[in-house]
Structure 1
């Protein structure tokens, strides 16, 4: 709901602050008083093109600020979040638009910079402006299917689920076919690669084991001669152990009765024991490092082959085993692919048939709902002086590439304004007042089904009066029970229905002309309605008639 509108330096408006209430608000004033300036100002806040000509002469910039209480915060919050703006759903929404006299504009949503495009996206969730040149709201065929579904209280869940299954089956088949086509193109390469990897028979971790074993054998090859030299030095014909044993035997013969020689003999015995231990360890090491040159050559060849094929396939050697399984699976897909595709084609046919059945059932309920809507709108046309007009809801099939979760139907509202005239979209109606009355008839028939919670009707009563104007006023009042309505009117019958009455008037201050708007009291309302009835000269009879209209409302 629109709660406030602040205007600064727009055309003839220097400064204006308006507050709005729920229900039906009417705006009246003499022709040329500036009612269009109010609508243009609100249009700026809703993303209309920023024209520097709207800036009041002598002013640097024009500023319009509109505040709203939201009926559908999640939808607005989603748009703002998508644009990276913060929004507290419990707070009002405030939009400010600034237009500079030298060109250019800026926009803000809750004091956060925003684009004019975002304002245009927010607009349909906030306000519907119905007039001769409006092409949004009920005039936009893209929303007609949703409105009809809401009117008929149709459940699209079954069609949506069937459509999802249908699209999933389509995607699965397309993926399988693409995989099959790629596999067939690569078949020769796959066969060679699988044969090569099968012959290689790689094992995960094999490269590390081979590398470690080869390194060990290479170390043994390097120090084998050094180990033999150590063995010769220890136990050769003239080695250290031989000399130590000889020295020990000599000492053993002469050491008796001589303490120092006895100690020397004991030391030699200990040295012999340690030297024997060292000889054993050298022998163990030599045995451990013994290698088979043929095995070393075989390991090196295997390692070279593993690494070469890994480079060829741009993987690590440890990944070759997994690659072999993957390529073998792709090759198997070629052989079994046709069978899988046949099964997926059958699944798609089943899913498509299920969707078509659900969509046809939904279409039947739509056609029935369309007939009820047509009858409801037709009942509203005659009282609105549209008895020669006809309204119909067109429900027709969409091409296959436009099938959707909401079914296979295109829905559009069409009218024929004169007997024998062809049906055409609502937006093709030439008369602004006639168009507004069609919109009103539709809105009354649809009741609370969809749309913004603030509706503005621009001169909906143009060219009518008397009973027709009364019928318009009665329907506007009825519609305002579920939405906020603001009506620019020249009809006293409509004005008398308003719960809030704003008067738009020009005033001249020397050479400057300004437009102002003020809220009317009860007595001022009677005078304004009397003026609308009698013209410039207000008579007592006009005042009495105005009183009767207000009492009847």
Structure 2
């Protein structure tokens, strides 16, 4: 629970420190005295947005620190341990706001973010504001109130997760399919190009070999004739060399012709070998017009595709590889689209199951809230009213993070009247009491150690005010209650009483907070009952109120 708060240079507060106890603490003061300053200051420690306007005029910075006793608060202690901010049973939140608008936050002296303070604050304090009845006009508020009554929030979180996942997958799918028609045209074009190139594609070695074969086949008849003549001349040369060699044989003994003999003999061997090679190659050559036509047509296609793709014939293989990679990317996009559609179907099925389970929880929570609010309205002089909660299914192709139904609070001011939207049928005073009834019920369900009610009794008076005080005090059985009020009947039921007043002196306007004794409480409650003119009669009435509720 909240044990202490120290406020310095905040709004019109110069420097105040207040201790808090268990039970119900009421906070009163004249209109404009700044009764909500305590709550606003605490809100800053709990992560509310800060700006320079909250700094007292003339001061460099505002500083607020709030201390809490965490005894028995397992969730808060677990959060601190998770963020390596372990403590025993004591917690101090501190917030500093400079006149330039800069802000710093601390948890147990360790710098942290306002968001972290907000997360931790959810385990510590629940603030019910004076304008809660106005927010009842918003269906979003109705959903928040009802969902807060669900003990097992796993389906609530699951629905939100699946809805978010669906939107992310759908976003990717839409991006892929947005230009799907263009992709199909590109895919058809690439498939044609790849097929065409694959039908004629040649490696560099194959291209060179075919070009050589084409050259041979196209010159076949001429080459055969030329080789035949070359072989004949080689034969003639061989005969001449043999005759010459025989003429030199007589000079071999003297060594006169031995060198020439060896050279001519070697030449004869080479000429004979050349002739035999020419004859072998000539025998292999054949005239094949069909093969020549086949090779020529294929090479013509290669040269044509090279011109078409503006590249060299030996670079067509590289061009084919480029097209294949582009086609693979498009085919991969088609596969991804198929996979994303499968994912969406799976997510929708999972969402449907989680949303159905959440709907069941909401229906049970709605029945409970309707019954409890009805009981509260009975005691708040609205027993003739009927409070209802409409759960209206909404059909949508896109899963909603808020579940499968719209939630709306409705009221009938007569027992047999038709349930209608609050905005259409309830007056301001009725809305205040309906709001208070709902807040009391939801506060009873809460496990938050400190409950703060900031003038939630607006629009309520008379005998109903007694009941309001009783309901608020009844919450002290499980929580510490702080209540800013303007009703004497509510103030009289507090276990502790703080008075907020605004003083004017040479240093300017400043707000002070004072813990009241029993005698001082009589004076303050008398003021609340009788206004400016406090008489013995109003004091007696105030004393009677305190005795009645003590």
Fold agreement, TM-score > 0.5: yes
Q: Name the CA shift for 1:283/1:510 in 2 (closer, same or farther; >3 Å).
A: farther
C-alpha contact 1:128 1:137 (8 A) present in aligned 2: no
Which residue in 2 is equivalent to 1:302? 301
Which residue in 2 is equivalent to 1:333? none
Match of 2:83 among 81, 88, 100: 88
CA distance, structure 2, for counterparts of residue 455 and residue 308 of structure 1? 83
1:409 paired with 2:405, answer: yes
C-alpha contact 2:26 2:482 (8 A) present in aligned 1: yes
Q: Name the CA shift for 1:279/1:135 in 2 (closer, same or farther; >3 Å).
A: farther
C-alpha contact 1:124 1:136 (8 A) present in aligned 2: no
Q: 1:13: how far off?
A: 1.0
Per mean C-alpha deviation after superposition, the further-off stretch among 143-152 and 232-241 is: 232-241
C-alpha contact 2:412 2:425 (8 A) present in aligned 1: no
CA distance, structure 2, for counterparts of residue 427 and residue 452 of structure 1? 33
C-alpha contact 2:13 2:510 (8 A) present in aligned 1: yes
CA distance, structure 1, for counterparts of residue 496 and residue 308 of structure 2? 85
Q: 1:35: how far off?
A: 1.3
Q: Name the CA shift for 1:511/1:208 in 2 (closer, same or farther; >3 Å).
A: same
Q: Name the CA shift for 1:239/1:485 in 2 (closer, same or farther; >3 Å).
A: farther
Q: 1:447: how far off?
A: 5.1
Secondary structure of residue in 2 paired with 1:35: coil
C-alpha contact 1:207 1:306 (8 A) present in aligned 2: no
RMSD, aligned CA: 6.9
Secondary structure of residue in 2 paired with 1:486: strand
1:443 paired with 2:443, answer: no
Per mean C-alpha deviation after superposition, the further-off stretch among 380-389 and 444-453 is: 444-453
Q: Name the CA shift for 1:296/1:525 in 2 (closer, same or farther; >3 Å).
A: farther
Which residue in 1 is equivalent to 2:10? 10
Secondary structure of residue in 1 paired with 2:198: coil
Question: 1:51-450 maps to which residues of 2 (within 5 A)?
Answer: 52=53, 54-59=54-59, 62=62, 88=83, 90=85, 96=95, 98=97, 100=99, 105-108=101-104, 129-134=127-132, 140-145=138-143, 147-148=145-146, 151=149, 182=181, 202-203=197-198, 207-209=201-203, 211-216=204-209, 237=234, 254-256=251-253, 297-306=296-305, 316-318=319-321, 369-387=365-383, 389-398=385-394, 400=396, 404=400, 407-415=403-411, 423-425=420-422, 437-446=433-442
C-alpha contact 1:145 1:412 (8 A) present in aligned 2: yes
Q: Structure 2: any 5+ residue segments left out of the alignment?
A: 312-317, 528-533
Q: Structure 1: any 5+ residue segments left out of the alignment?
A: 78-86, 331-339
CA distance, structure 2, for counterparts of residue 193 and residue 496 of structure 1? 86
Q: Name the CA shift for 1:405/1:144 in 2 (closer, same or farther; >3 Å).
A: same
C-alpha contact 1:202 1:320 (8 A) present in aligned 2: no
CA deviations over 1:232-267 (Å, ceiling 9, x no partner): 999975999999989977776644475x98799779
CA deviations over 1:171-224 (Å, ceiling 9, x no partner): 8xx98xx7999499969x96x997x669x65539x6352x43224555899999
Q: 1:540: how far off?
A: 10
**How many residues get paired?**
493
CA distance, structure 2, for counterparts of residue 416 and residue 438 of structure 1? 12
Secondary structure of residue in 1 paired with 2:377: helix
When normalised by structure 1's length, the TM-score is 0.58
CA distance, structure 1, for counterparts of residue 22 and residue 283 of structure 2? 102
Match of 1:526 among 486, 499, 518: 518
CA distance, structure 2, for counterparts of residue 515 and residue 288 of structure 1? 119
Q: 1:377: how far off?
A: 0.7
